[in-house]
Amino acid sequence: MSKPDLLERALEEHGLPSISAAVFEGGEVTWAQAAGDARPDTQYAIGSITKTFVAAALLALRVDLDAPLRFGTPRQLLSHTSGLQRELPGEGWATLEFPGRDEVLARLDEAERVLPPGRFHYSNLGYVVLGEVVAEHAGEPLEEAIRALLLQPLGLRRTTWDAEEPYARGFFHERPERTLVKGGTSASGGIWSTAGDVARWGSHLLGLEELHRPYARAGWDEAFGLGVELVRVDERELWGHEGATVGYRAVLLYDRDAKAGAAVLTNATQPANLRGVAAALVPLVAQSHRREARVPSEVEGILGSWWSEGVEHRFRWTGRLESDDAVFAQVAPDRFRSARGREEGELLRVVRGEDGEPVELWWAGYPFRREPGYSY
């Protein structure tokens, strides 16, 4: 299905007033289009994609991510593993009017750590705390700091803290939504932007290596790094973030190996499978180039299916050794280490027979054999 058809289908299937999308490859926006009552430079509230800006600002300010804070460390707050409750104490999501900064700081005295540190629990409040860390280290309010550190240097002129015309009004189906006032909680989701600017931001964000290590699993197909999330869509591993707020939804997804991604924004509260739309827009070209890479002779015998504990594991070469759920880096002849995914950091050792062909793999202390269904 063509890119414009993907947008039109989402518009019709989910009753969206408008949808806007952009694709980027190699640091450049290569395609942008809107459907419905919008144009490519229309702004939308991007909700929690704002969190990626907060994370990048902490790196730019060289904040010690392991320094103890009142509610854990910056690393724990970034990865939603501090145990801090989800929202600011109060009834902001009923009134849709959150208090200013002074009252927000006062209400932190009522906040609870509802889980022990180390367990995943999504927390908007954690990013409000991190916003204060950014402000403290920058010596100016969060909004000004992010503008100076990120928005201006990257030329994101249509990315702002307040809506600027033209911007899309939020709806729930055919009903206009009330206006959300973020007040002193903007760090958790207060930015407005266009699909093109979010795509440009994604091309910068994917290069921030320190953010892209999974720290906490949020589900079987989702994990969180530092300010970014990792999702699996149709067997693809994509990073980015999603946003959902009153009257708006947004998704930024990218393939770090392909250095390509997509942003999709809409002005509707109802679910619209934007993750699926964005994933379908992320270019596959660079991946196909990797698949065409010549397989080294010493790796050929490793490829294909191996079994351990009764489970099949398929290995392939895409310019590097990969399995269905891990990426490996070679460290010595017949020695690989899991660099990402399953058993990260563990050694994969190749055992060869007298004829030089692989007869067994040992990965993270478990044997793998060619015998279908092999288990111990």
Report the pLDDT averaged over residues 9-38.
Answer: 97
Q: Is the pLDDT of residue 286 over 70?
A: no
Q: Is the pLDDT of residue 9 over 50?
A: yes
Can you give the pTM of this predicted structure? 0.81
Which residue, chain included where needed, has tokens 């994969």? 348
Which residue, chain included where needed, has tokens 């990073």? 239
pLDDT range class, residue 287, cuts 50, 70, 90: very low
pLDDT range class, residue 30, cuts 50, 70, 90: very high
Tell me how far apart the alpha carbons of residues 205 and 228 are, in angstroms, rounded to a whole number.
9
pLDDT range class, residue 219, cuts 50, 70, 90: confident
Per-residue three-class SS string for the chain: CCHHHHHHHHHHHHCCCEEEEEEEECCEEEEEEEEECCCCCCEEECHHHHHHHHHHHHHHCCCCCCCCECCECHHHHHCCCCCECCCCCCCHHHHCECCCHHHHHHHHHHCCECCCCCCCCCCHHHHHHHHHHHHHHHCCCHHHHHHHHHHCCCCCCCCECCCCCCECCCEECCEECCCCECHHHHHHCCCEECHHHHHHHHHHHCCCHHHCCCCEEEECCEEECCCCEEEEECCEEEEEEEEEECCEEEEEEEECCCCEEEEEEECECCCCCHHHHHHHHCCCHHHHHHHCCCCCHHHHCCCEEEEECCEEEEEEECCCEEECCEEEEEEECCEEEEEEECCCCCEEEEEECCCCCEEEEEECCEEEECCCCCCC
Tell me how far apart the alpha carbons of residues 50 and 227 are, in angstroms, rounded to a whole number.
9
Tell me how far apart the alpha carbons of residues 285 and 260 are, in angstroms, rounded to a whole number.
9
CATH superfamily of 3-283: DD-peptidase/beta-lactamase superfamily (3.40.710.10)
pLDDT range class, residue 293, cuts 50, 70, 90: low
Which residue, chain included where needed, has tokens 């793998």? 368
Question: Which residues on adjacent β-strands are paired with residue 227?
Answer: none
Tell me how far apart the alpha carbons of residues 288 and 45 are, in angstroms, rounded to a whole number.
34
Domain segments of the chain: what residues?
Answer: 3-283, 293-368
pLDDT in tens, 137-189: 999 999 999 999 999 999 999 999 999 999 999 999 999 999 999 999 999 99
Per-residue model confidence (pLDDT) at position 192: 98
pLDDT range class, residue 285, cuts 50, 70, 90: low
Separation of CA 240 from chain center: 2
Q: Is the pLDDT of residue 194 over 90?
A: yes
The answer to whether the beta carbons of residues 312 and 322 sit under 8 Å apart is no
Per-residue three-class SS string for 337-367: EEEEECCCCCEEEEEECCCCCEEEEEECCEE
How much of the chain, in percent, has pLDDT values that exceed 90?
A: 88
Higher pLDDT, 237 or 200: 200
pLDDT in tens, 299-314: 999 999 999 999 999 9
pLDDT in tens, 229-245: 999 898 788 999 999 99
